[in-house]
């Protein structure tokens, strides 16, 4: 154990102390935070503050629309009404557009018949201002509908209450958690695992290759076993990734939970998770990470250079991508035999079992069994990796083919 700890500690400190680590750890949250700030500012910007002019012979409709655009939830525009327009109006408005005094004008031509809808034509200053056009369209629809309802004899209050948006609550049997947040957590877990494995799993492989090319292993193997070395590497290099991810996640949580964000975004941007879900999230994330790092270690043990490693990259990503296909069936029926079997396959367990726990908690023994199987698999992969490593470097120093690997596993 002491040796594993020593190896892990060295790997960890050597990596964490580098400038590259510091920069990437700080830079990503900065970019992330910057991105959020920009997009938040962007959303408030699309809550259009444009200045437009409405030209209409029907003054009632124009004023209604003006009110809707100036005071409704979706927009805070400045609207002028010209009613009715005369022959020079269009030319005046066009020159105002050119002078940037207004952002656009809406020309309403009444229908030829009394019951016919008027025609609307919006002339924006820049063709790219889609947001304003969308806001106007929505507002128009509301106004026209309200007008029609009022025309049919409905009182204003009734009209407003009828036009309230509908809210549907989802409740899970036995608890009040919002299932959408479970899905969000699943996707967060999936992409977190995917990203972390891609970014850091390969670091484990690389660090093993580095030891081979520098021939440091000759000294190390004089006192420690290849198993200890592999385990130490996976833990040490792995912790570096975890440290970084922890920093990022914390930043993300701080950023998204900040009340300012909700104040600005105005929507429920938070994710609610139960304590048990968080614990399972951490457990399955760690186990999944360890499992895939072990595979990376085995790949590193097989090859002698980074180029060769590139070719084997897919073995790391493929099982994970396979899980993606299983997501659908499991989500639609989390307790079916197929879902249960898939969730017990160690390579899929971290994602699928977590998904099942979030959707419809499986019996405790299944969770226990899945964790046990994962631990055994991790141990098995590390054992094979250290075999391949030792036999490979001490005896041949070349990349083995599959039959050789099988033979090497039997060597002592």
Partner 1 sequence: MAIVQLQNVSKAYDTKVAVDDLSFEIAPGSMFGLLGPNGSGKTSSIRMMIGMTLPDTGLVSLFGQPFDRKSVYRVGYLPEERGLYKKMKVIDQLIFLGQLHGLDAVTASKRAHGWCEKMEITEAIPKKTEELSKGMQQKIQFIAALLHEPELIIMDEPFSGLDPVNAALLQNTLLDLNRQGRTVLFSTHRMDQVEKLCDTICLIHRGRKVLAGEMQEIKARYPKNRVEMVFEGDPGFLNHPVVESAKNYNGMAEIRLREGGDAQLLLADAVSKARITRFEVMEPTLEEIFIETVGDRVDA
* Cis, peptide link before residue 4, omega less than 30° from 0: no
Q: Is there binding between residue 412 and partner 1 (CB under 8 A)?
A: yes
Q: Which bin fits 303, alpha (ψ -120 to 50), beta or left (φ > 0)?
A: beta
Nearer to partner 1, 117 or 215 (CB): 215
Nearer to partner 1, 58 or 306 (CB): 306
Name the minimum Å distance from CB 240 to partner 1: 14
Q: Is there binding between residue 10 and partner 1 (CB under 8 A)?
A: yes
- For residues 86 and 358, what is the distance between their CA atoms, to the nearest angstrom? 64
Q: Would strands 119-124 and 104-109 be described as parallel, antiparallel, or unpaired?
A: antiparallel
Site string for partner 1, 366-395 (x = CB under 8 A): ------------------------x---xx
Name the minimum Å distance from CB 186 to partner 1: 39
Asked if residues 306 and 297 have their Cβ atoms less than 8 Å apart, the reply is: no
Name the minimum Å distance from CB 9 to partner 1: 9
Name the segment binding partner 1 (CB under 8 A); options: 32-40, 81-89, 104-112, 218-226. 218-226
Q: Is there binding between residue 117 and partner 1 (CB under 8 A)?
A: no
Site string for partner 1, 174-213 (x = CB under 8 A): ----------------------------------------
- For residues 310 and 175, what is the distance between their CA atoms, to the nearest angstrom? 46
Q: Is there binding between residue 403 and partner 1 (CB under 8 A)?
A: no
Number of residues counted as binding partner 1 (CB under 8 A): 21
Name the minimum Å distance from CB 222 to partner 1: 4
Write the DSSP string, 96-162: HHHTTS-SEEEEEE--SSTTSPPEEEEEESSTT-HHHHHHHHHHHHHHHHHHHHHHTT--HHHHHHH
The continuous run of DSSP H or E covering 280 comes out as helix 275-302
Footprint on this chain of partner 1 (rule: CB under 8 A): 3, 6, 10, 14, 214-225, 390, 394-396, 412
């Amino acid at each position: 154990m002491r040796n594993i700890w020593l190896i892990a500690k060295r790997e960890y400190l050597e990596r964490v102390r580098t400038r590259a680590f510091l920069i990437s750890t700080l830079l990503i949250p900065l970019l992330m935070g910057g991105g959020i700030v920009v997009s938040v500012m962007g959303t408030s910007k699309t809550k259009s503050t444009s200045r437009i002019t409405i030209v209409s012979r029907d003054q009632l409709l124009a004023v209604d629309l003006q009110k809707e655009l100036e005071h409704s939830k979706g927009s805070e525009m400045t609207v002028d009404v010209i009613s009715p327009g005369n022959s020079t109006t269009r030319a005046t408005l066009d020159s105002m557009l050119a002078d940037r005094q207004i952002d656009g004008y809406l020309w309403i031509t009444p229908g030829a018949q009394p019951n016919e809808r008027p025609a609307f034509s919006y002339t924006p200053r820049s063709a790219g201002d889609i947001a304003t056009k969308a806001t106007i369209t929505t507002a128009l629809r509301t106004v026209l509908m309200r007008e029609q309802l009022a025309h049919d004899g409905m009182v204003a209050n009734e009209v407003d209450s009828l036009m309230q948006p509908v809210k549907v609550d989802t409740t899970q049997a036995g608890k009040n958690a919002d299932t959408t947040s479970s899905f969000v957590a699943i996707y967060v877990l999936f992409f977190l695992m995917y990203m972390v494995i891609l970014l850091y799993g390969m670091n484990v492989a690389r660090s093993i290759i580095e030891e081979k090319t520098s021939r440091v292993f000759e000294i190390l193997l004089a006192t420690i076993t290849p198993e200890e070395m592999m385990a130490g590497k996976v833990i040490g290099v792995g912790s570096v990734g975890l440290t970084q991810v922890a920093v990022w996640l914390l930043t993300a949580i701080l950023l998204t939970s900040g009340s300012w964000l909700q104040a600005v975004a105005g929507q429920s941007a938070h994710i609610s998770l139960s304590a048990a879900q968080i614990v399972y999230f951490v457990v399955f994330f760690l186990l999944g990470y360890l499992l895939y790092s072990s595979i990376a270690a085995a790949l590193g043990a097989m090859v002698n250079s980074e180029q060769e490693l590139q070719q084997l990259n897919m073995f790391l990503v493929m099982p994970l991508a396979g899980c993606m296909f299983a997501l659908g069936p499991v989500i639609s029926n989390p307790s079916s035999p197929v879902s249960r079997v898939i969730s017990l396959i160690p390579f899929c367990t971290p994602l699928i079992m977590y998904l099942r726990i979030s959707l419809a908690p499986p019996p405790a023994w299944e969770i226990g069994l899945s964790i046990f199987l994962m631990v055994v698999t991790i141990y098995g992969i590390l054992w094979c990796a250290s075999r391949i490593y030792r036999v490979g470097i001490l005896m041949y120093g070349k990349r083995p083919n599959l039959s050789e690997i099988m033979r090497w596993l039997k060597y002592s």
